[in-house]
């Protein structure tokens, strides 16, 4: 029985091409079965799935199988960047095309109208991903919170909250594209952001203490914009440390640096 391999692509044609390139055989001689036809998701941003095929490797003498290119087998991932990072990196360009799909009848002059329009946009996106989800609106002077409750919260949140951030980014962009005043939107699913904020605050308090005790900076791994803001705000009144984001794009590292005066004070204790 010939060995089989799996290949992916944005569609079946791309998956077949990847297989042909990796196995170095022409398309007409490739034997394959379709595992998944894939889907484009919402505006190509959320819920997208790659097409996948299973290929029967060519029958050749032992040791003569063509060399398989590792980067074409399975999921191709850039160095240290997962699919969620790639999604957020591509958002600005791809959102520009998606904005035209949602337009109110008139320009949104009133804040209430803008928030209501944003809720409708969010409901449409969620309905394409999950079912039986409801949205409530909470407002304060700083932001408007769209709180989502319903089935499959993990699907809406995504790995490390990356799908949730992509949805929030898109909804906020669509609202402010059509509103006369800038409105800050936050989307939360089943209290995920509140729980995440509490966990982050405990973490950074511990790391800030470590930085002051050792006199050395402490690095927190890859973080999205929301998580970085939580860290900055949690430590802004701590005179013993300062925080700084490192890197480009939406996903960055965050470092906590001890201030020199706190190191001197510890040494004198």
> For residue 19, what are the CA distances in angstroms to 10, 13, 30?
13, 10, 8
Out of 3.60.9.10, 3.30.300.20, 3.40.50.300, 3.30.470.10, select the CATH number for domain 83-190.
Answer: 3.30.300.20
pLDDT of residue 105: 60
> For residue 7, what are the CA distances in angstroms to 1, 84, 167, 176?
19, 20, 29, 40
Candidates 186, 189, 238; CA nearest to 211 is: 238
Instruction: Tell me the pLDDT tens digit for each residue of 77-135.
Output: 333 334 444 444 454 455 445 555 566 666 666 778 888 888 988 988 888 777 788 99
CATH dotted code for 194-268: 3.30.1370.50
- Using the predicted structure, report yes or no on whether residue 33 has a pLDDT greater than 60: yes
Which segment of 59-68, 183-192, 210-219 scores lowest on mean pLDDT? 59-68
Better-predicted residue by pLDDT, 6 or 99: 6
Each domain of the chain, given as residue ranges in start order, spans 4-59, 83-190, 194-268
Better-predicted residue by pLDDT, 46 or 131: 131
Instruction: Tell me the pLDDT tens digit for each residue of 162-187.
Output: 788 888 888 888 888 877 788 888 99
């Amino acid at each position: 029985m010939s060995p089989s391999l799996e290949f992916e692509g944005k569609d079946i044609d791309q998956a077949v091409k990847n297989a042909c390139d990796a196995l170095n055989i022409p398309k007409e001689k490739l034997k394959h079965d379709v595992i998944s036809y894939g889907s484009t998701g919402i505006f190509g941003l959320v819920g997208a799935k790659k097409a996948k095929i299973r290929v029967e490797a060519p029958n050749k003498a032992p040791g003569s199988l063509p060399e398989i290119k590792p980067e074409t087998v399975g999921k191709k991932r850039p160095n240290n960047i997962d699919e969620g990072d790639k999604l957020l990196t591509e958002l600005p360009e791809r959102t520009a095309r998606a904005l035209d799909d949602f337009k109110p009848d008139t320009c949104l002059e009133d804040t209430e109208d803008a928030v209501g329009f944003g809720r409708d946009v969010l409901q449409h996106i969620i309905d394409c991903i999950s079912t039986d989800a409801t949205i409530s609106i909470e407002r304060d002077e700083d932001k408007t919170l769209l709180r989502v409750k319903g089935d499959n919260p993990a699907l809406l949140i995504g790995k490390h909250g990356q799908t949730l951030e992509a949805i929030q980014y898109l909804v906020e962009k669509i609202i402010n594209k059509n509103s006369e005043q800038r409105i800050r939107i936050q989307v939360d699913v089943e209290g995920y952001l509140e729980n995440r904020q509490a966990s982050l605050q405990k973490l950074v308090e511990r790391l800030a203490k470590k930085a002051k005790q050792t006199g050395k900076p402490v690095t927190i791994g890859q973080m999205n914009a929301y998580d970085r803001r939580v860290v900055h705000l949690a430590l802004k009144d701590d005179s013993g440390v300062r925080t700084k984001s490192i890197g480009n794009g939406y996903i960055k590292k965050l470092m906590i640096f001890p201030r020199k005066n706190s190191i001197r004070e510890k040494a004198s204790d």
